[in-house]
Every structure is written in structure tokens, then in C-alpha cells.
Amino acid sequence: MVAAVLVGAAVLLVVLGTPLGTPPGPQAQVPGSGFYQIDEPTAGLSVGQLAPELEGEMDGEVIGLRDLDGQPLRLADLRGDPVWLSFFATWCPPCQEETPVLREAHERYGPQGLQMIAVSVQETTPGDVAAWAETYDLRYPIGFDATSAVFHAYDGFGLPTHVFIDRDGVIRHLQYGPLDLEQVAAIVEPLLAGEATGTPDTTRAPSAPPTAEAIDPIQPAE
């Protein structure tokens, strides 16, 4: 009984000594299933901030993103339309798995005004990525981020990474890991309608990368 009284008193002291309204501690952030981590996570971008231009700095030189034909790709040229940036690599298993989702989403929402740009990271040559795009009939622009300068400007640390930007150039949703069509619809359709997308998935903590054997390769477009 004495022990119980002492424990009760200790608990009461802790409660009385805790300030009211103390915010909860930081919660563990876990990327979506299939996120392929290639670097250490950073504080990163946040929803509500202006999206960086598609350029980064490498050895003191500003490097802009270019498509597979060497033409520049700039967010400033797309202002007024919602933009979906998808950082990927052709060798990345979860990126391979979700490629049909991106292809169908572009076919569905591109005519409605969605600007989709895929950004190829850690690839060998633009020709290799172009062959991939032709094999799978990908009609959206693909930027070749040869030095990963743009990827680093967006605080990328794994693949696939998706950044959804509204008509004013503001980041409205961050997704780390592959998407399905239902998730895409929930994010893109409000952006096309000029609405907010609700509470975004901005989870960023490390996770074990999947093995290539665990994911079936995608099938070429017919």
C-alpha cells in the first residue's frame, strides 16, 4: 500500500510538472512502400513553399535541366498550369513498377492541363533513357539530370520522388514512393480544379530498398 501511494505521488508530480499544451514529439516518418533510398534524408522541401526552378549548382556552376534532345526545361515556362515532377531512374525497380501509372495519368490528365515532367537521375546517357521512353511509349517530357544537381536542389534522397505544384508554382503535395492511379486522382484532380489537395504525404525517413527480384518488370506498351 505504501509503495502504491509513493508511485501515485510520483505520477502526480510528473503531471503537475508538465506544461499544458506541450506539443507531441517528432514522429517517425516512413516513406511509402517501395521507396528506393539512395542518399541520406535531409530536412527537405515542404508543402506551401515555392518550388525551386529546375536547376542546381555543381562545382560553383548553375546547371539547368534539359530534356533528352538537349532543350531546356523550366518551371517558369509552365506557370499557370499545375505541374507534376517525377524523379525516377530506369534501373530503379519501384520506378519500373509505376511507369504504367505515369503513362496512363499523362494520357488522362495531360489534355486537361496537367504538365508532367519526369526527371531521370543517375543514368548513363540520354540515349539510354530515350530508348526506355520509346519502349514504353512515354509521351511526357523527360529531363536528363546528368549531375543530379536538380535532384539535390529538390532535396531528393530516394526514388521515385513526386512533387506536385499548383498553378502559382507552390508545392502542394510531396510523395516518396510509387503511386497508383487512385492516389494520382486524389492529388491531381483538385490541382486541376484549383483546390488544395488536403493533408499531403510528406514522409521522408529511410527504409530498406526493395530487391529487383521482388518486383515484376513492366510490360512494353502495345
> In this structure, how many other beta carbons lie within 10 angstroms of the beta carbon of residue 216?
9
Q: Which domain holds residue 152?
A: 39-209
> Vertex 98, ends 95 and 159: CA angle to 5°?
30
DSSP 3-state assignment of 158? strand
- 19 occurs within a structural domain: no
- 21 occurs within a structural domain: no
Average pLDDT over residues 39-44: 82
Residue 154 has, within 13 A of its CA and on its CB side, a CA count of 30
pLDDT at 4 over 50: no
pLDDT tens figures, 150-201: 999 999 999 999 999 999 999 999 999 999 999 999 999 999 998 754 444 4
pLDDT given at position 219: 44
Distances (CA, A) of 220 to 131, 134, 201, 211: 12, 9, 30, 21
- 99 occurs within a structural domain: yes
- 80 occurs within a structural domain: yes
Here the CATH number for the domain that contains residue 75 is 3.40.30.10
- 71 occurs within a structural domain: yes
- 200 occurs within a structural domain: yes
- 118 occurs within a structural domain: yes
pLDDT at 57 over 70: yes
- 103 occurs within a structural domain: yes
Q: What is the tally of structural domains in the chain? A: 1
pLDDT tens figures, 16-27: 333 333 333 333
pLDDT at 92 over 50: yes
